[in-house]
Amino acid sequence: MYLITRWFGTFLCNEKCIVKKILFPKSAEEIAARLEIIGRGEILQEEKKLAGNKKPIVYDRRLRSIGEFDPKNPFFKKFEIETSDFDFSPNIFHEASILLAEKKIEEKLQVEDLQIIHMVNSLDELIQISNLLSERLECWKILPTHDEYIRPLDDLFSSVKMEISRLGNLIEKSVTKIAPNTCKILGPLITARLISFAGGIERLACMPASTIQLLGAEKALFRFKKEGGKPPKHGIIFQHPAINKSQPQIRGKIARLIATKASMAVKADFFTGRDITPFLEKSIDSQLKKIRNL
């Protein structure tokens, strides 16, 4: 027996014909739901029902648990199942594909790290606005003026500062959820900025430590390659207190150490979800002592 699934149904066949079949509902929504399950590599209830205890031969790797996986079997190339034989219009498949694509796009737009990227960008813009307002207020307050003239700008400045604080707390909460190891090593805001510069936590997790070390220092790096001079030693991670509070001559070594541990942390966050913070913190403390005692 052979088990074959098409977009419109699943079929149990012998060498000559279809023995049993379960057709899917003629609904774009229902077809899209089943295509989504298949896309996740999961088994449909219809497939489980047809397979039963028979262990049919299957060509799809995801069906290995209910059948004998043999994708090279010549049967799968010669045996044809046409939609027209079961009165299914290709338009249903087209509509289902559109629905599935829309759902995937919506899910992608809702992922936590994409939200963090927009929050970091918004925070930076608000900080820039706050600095401009502060500068304008300081210049204006030098002049003799009525409070009623300056109060609207003062109120706006206060509102922007409150929003900066609120957004900062929101970023900390969100990034701690998806990158707990990295947040404990670098701090939430540095972690969020690295995710933003990298374009997402997955891209950050795939970067080598040397790239993470220089994220945010792209202009200095390009200038070094074009004009020469000293190469940059750190980018965003310079904000880490272990780096910016150290003596200039050892900052490069400490930046390399922190970037290496951050690389390990973000890989654990994205790929395994294991808590490796105690190991990383112990290693950082030990190596920091060695660097500072050189």
Q: Is the dihedral of CA 112, 116, 122, 123 positive or negative?
A: positive
> Would you call 75 helix, strand, or coil by DSSP?
helix
| Mean pLDDT, residues 148-170 taken together | 92
Is the pLDDT at 85 greater than 90, yes or no?
no
Percentage of the chain exceeding pLDDT 90: 58
Task: Please tell me the CATH code under which domain 112-292 is placed.
Answer: 1.10.246.90
Which pairs count as long-range contacts for 132-135, CB under 8 Å and 24+ apart, including other chains? 133/157, 133/160
Calculate the average pLDDT of the chain.
89
Q: Do domains 2-109 and 112-292 have the same CATH topology?
A: no
What kind of fold does domain 2-109 have according to CATH? Nucleotidyltransferase; domain 5 (3.30.420)
> What is the band of 294 on the pLDDT scale with cuts at 50, 70, 90?
low
Residues 243, 247, 253: CA angle, nearest 5 degrees: 55
Strands of the sheet with 57-58, listed across from one edge: 18-23, 9-13, 2-6, 57-58, 68-69
Q: Which pLDDT value is given to residue 224?
A: 66
> What is the band of 292 on the pLDDT scale with cuts at 50, 70, 90?
confident
Which residues make Cβ contacts (< 8 Å) with residue 147, sequence separation at least 6?
none
Q: Which pLDDT value is given to residue 168?
A: 93
Q: Which pLDDT value is given to residue 108?
A: 64
Q: Which pLDDT value is given to residue 113?
A: 83
Closest CA to 45 of 76, 6, 10, 72: 10
| Mean pLDDT, residues 248-261 taken together | 92
- By CB neighbour count within 10 A (0-12 exposed, 13-18 middle, 19+ buried), where does 216 fall? buried
Residue of higher predicted confidence among 219 and 116: 116
Q: Which pLDDT value is given to residue 211?
A: 92
Question: Could you tell me which residues are beta bridge partners of residue 23?
Answer: 9
Question: Which amino acid, 153?
Answer: L
CA distances from 40 to 96, 112, 147 (A): 16, 20, 63
CB 205 within 8 A of CB 197: no
Is the pLDDT at 109 greater than 60, yes or no?
no
**Could you tell me the residue ranges of all domains in the chain?**
2-109, 112-292
> What is the band of 165 on the pLDDT scale with cuts at 50, 70, 90?
very high
